[in-house]
Structure 1
Amino acid sequence: MKAAVFQGVEEPLEIQDVEEPTADEDQVVVETEACGICRSDWHAWKGDWGHIGVVPTEGLVFGHEPAGRVVEVGDNVERFREGDMVTVPFNLSDGTCQHCRDGRGNICDRMVPLGFLQMAPGAFAERFPVREADHNVVKLPDDVEPVNVAGLGCRFATAFHGLVSRVDVTPGDWVAVHGCGGVGLSAVHIADALGANVIAVDIKDEQLWAAEELGADEIINATEVKDTPQAVKAHTESSHGVDVAVDALGVAETCKNAVNSLGKAGQHLQIGLTTGENDGNVELPVDNMVMDEREFYGSFGMPPNEYDQIFRMMSRGKIDPGQIVTETVSLEEVPDVIGNMGNYETVGIPVCNEF
């Protein structure tokens, strides 16, 4: 079968014929119908994440935002049948650790990231296997198009989990989203659906215009203001600052700007992972955070048991992940799309849907 295969750091992925996967007793094999092309793929391809243990090796198949059809079922799998339409969270868990038992499989002690390590080959391929299928695989509603939910494996789900389960967003709150790539636009859309007043911050007008279409009430081009946190605060009541700030990019400047845009007792939500430049470390105004009792939260994917919340909101027209999909491409185009992400010209979520 065909797949986009990693050749080394910053070497173009190659479309190659690779061995067909088969399902072990606890696995399923999924035929890929759509897979989002994520900036996380680019970071891994660049070699940015060695400090968190993500070190792709030659021969790895990338792709961690899939939707597809089950085509083979292991002997021990009980919840799925051939023909089921499914999606798969990128952070594959084992279903047995304490976090899994507590409904937080996204931070499983033995988590394996789909499409980032050889033991979990990804979905930039005609088919891919999924470990511990009964625990990790999520069945899609009947009326959902695969392309429209290709971001659920990572970007949309991470933003949703963060805003719904990690921080407290209530109607009328002020939420600032710093960085309006795919995950940032997802956060804008979700925060708007939750009834928040949303401020979108980016350095490119195209991303900010997309944020407006997805529900942002105010937009700020950070290159056009002297002090981004103060520009954010100026939009809030009495300029006190936002209730929730999201760093959806993961660079030191956006993280600090987000924290500094908070009001007292505000909550910071970190979605973006840092790059090799910061190696996971960002200097923060700790004393101000202490005196203002600001809180810092992380969001890493989403546990499988929370997906029904997304599907319920989709069925009622509250959210539409498909609005953030801006481009569809073939498998042969995936290497160029990933390689060009360094230009930071991607708006929304590109999706591969031709295999």
Structure 2
Amino acid sequence: MRALLFESFAGPLSVREVPEPAPPAGGVVVRVAASGLCRSDWHAWQGHDPDVVLPHVPGHELAGTVAAVGDGVRRWRAGDRVTVPFVNACGRCTQCAAGEHQVCVRQTQPGFTHWGSLAEFVALDAADVNLVAVPEALDLATAAALGCRYATAFRAVTQVARVRAGEWVAVHGCGGVGLSAVQIAVAAGARVVAVDVSADALELARGLGAEQVVRAADDVPAAVHALTSGGAHVSLDALGSPVTCANSVRCLRPRGRHVQVGLLPPGQGRAEVPMERVLALELQVLGSHGMAAHAYPELLGLVAAGRLDPGRLITRELPLDDAPAALAAIGRRPGIAVVTSF
């Protein structure tokens, strides 16, 4: 099969012919119809994830059709249209028994623990636990965008932050996760302040309903406090950096909720959380790591009803041959890029 491959961290990215995967016991192989290019793929390429073993095929945000089924799979057949969360849970541990698949202690992640979806085929584990049926009315490029960024933002906004109508929500970083969070928070009735270094990204955020925007070069906490008359009720670090994490906490009003969504690889520096402020203002500091497959029906229902439109965030569809340059330049152009031709 054709796949995007790298053989050294931060080294050359190329499209190569590599062996096709076989379905694992309990798992499937999916013929990939669409795979998003995500900042997490960039982190894998840079060597920020200890699970990545070279040579490696990245990609974890996917949709397609089941091509082959492993022993023990009951719910899926060849030809089924599917997507999958980026966390593939085992379905057997204590966390899975509690329904918290996104923090499964034996999780696998395509594009990190094994070869991923920037390829014609990808193997996925524990299919009966992790696969999500894609409705016929939903195109597979849009379905691919759900697997990481949109579903992650959905759970962060609605289930972890518990955003309520009328609240001010600050979103730090308007990449795929951040723009998704903007749209979802607006749909929940919140008033959104979007923060980014890019004027183009902020313009996209306005188009998705952000009421206010702040250039990240400014004093972000001061700007957010002024625009919201006292600070945000909820603030999400959707980028993942020491600066955006600290700014997110500092822009909250008393009893506000900070949600860390963007990855914070230790190699890029440890975030310094102002715990004195957390204590004095009784702030909540929360983490949000993806969304379990069993939670997708609520999200898909809102998409089907027209209340959410993840397709608006897709700004580019690319062939696999353009993926090396696009991954190397991740974050330079706003919106979500999806590989749809292999």
TM-score range, shorter chain: over 0.9
- Deviation for aligned residue 1:15: 1.4
Q: Which runs of 5+ in 1 are unaligned?
A: none
Q: Is residue 83 of structure 2 the alignment partner of residue 80 of structure 1?
A: no
- Aligned partner of residue 301 in structure 1, secondary structure: coil
- Aligned partner of residue 40 in structure 2, secondary structure: helix
Deviation string, structure 1 residues 176-224 (Cα, Å, up to 9, x no partner): 001111111111011011110001011110000000111101111122x
- The share of aligned pairs that are identical, in percent, is 41
1:142 aligned residue (133, 136, 146): 136
Partner of 1:304: 293
Partner of 1:154: 148
Task: Supply the RMSD in Å over aligned alpha carbons.
Answer: 1.2
CA distance in structure 2 between the aligned counterparts of 1:116 and 1:346, rounded to whole angstroms: 24
CA distance in structure 1 between the aligned counterparts of 2:222 and 2:190, rounded to whole angstroms: 19
Residue 61 of structure 2 aligns with an amino acid whose one-letter code is E
Tell me the number of residue pairs that the alignment of Structure 1 and Structure 2 aligns.
342
Contact 2:44-2:58 at 8 Å conserved across structures: no
Contact 1:32-1:126 at 8 Å conserved across structures: yes
Partner of 2:220: 228
1:339 aligned residue (321, 328, 335): 328
Runs of 4+ in 1 over 3 A off after TM superposition: 275-279
CA distance in structure 2 between the aligned counterparts of 1:248 and 1:235, rounded to whole angstroms: 20
CA distance in structure 2 between the aligned counterparts of 1:277 and 1:217, rounded to whole angstroms: 35
Q: Is residue 14 of structure 2 the alignment partner of residue 14 of structure 1?
A: yes
Partner of 2:255: 265
Partner of 2:89: 93
- Deviation for aligned residue 1:113: 1.7
- Deviation for aligned residue 1:21: 1.7
- Deviation for aligned residue 1:48: 2.5
Residue 149 of structure 1 aligns with an amino acid whose one-letter code is A
Q: Is residue 334 of structure 2 the alignment partner of residue 351 of structure 1?
A: no
Contact 1:8-1:57 at 8 Å conserved across structures: no
Q: Is residue 61 of structure 2 the alignment partner of residue 65 of structure 1?
A: yes
Q: Is residue 251 of structure 2 the alignment partner of residue 292 of structure 1?
A: no
Contact 2:87-2:108 at 8 Å conserved across structures: yes
Judging changes above 3 Å, is the alpha-carbon distance between structure 1 residues 196 and 5 closer, same or farther for their aligned structure 2 residues?
Answer: same
The TM-score, its normalising length taken from structure 1, stands at 0.94
Residue 351 of structure 1 aligns with an amino acid whose one-letter code is V
Q: Is residue 320 of structure 2 the alignment partner of residue 320 of structure 1?
A: no
The TM-score, its normalising length taken from structure 2, stands at 0.97
Partner of 1:104: 100
Residue 66 of structure 2 aligns with an amino acid whose one-letter code is V
Contact 1:12-1:336 at 8 Å conserved across structures: no
Partner of 1:30: 30
- Deviation for aligned residue 1:277: 4.4
Contact 1:65-1:153 at 8 Å conserved across structures: yes
- Aligned partner of residue 227 in structure 2, secondary structure: coil
CA distance in structure 2 between the aligned counterparts of 1:260 and 1:24, rounded to whole angstroms: 46
Q: Is residue 200 of structure 2 the alignment partner of residue 206 of structure 1?
A: yes
Contact 1:30-1:69 at 8 Å conserved across structures: yes
Partner of 1:195: 189
Contact 1:7-1:14 at 8 Å conserved across structures: no
- Aligned partner of residue 106 in structure 1, secondary structure: helix
Q: Which runs of 5+ in 2 are unaligned?
A: none
Deviation string, structure 1 residues 288-339 (Cα, Å, up to 9, x no partner): 1111110011111111111111101101111111111110111111111111
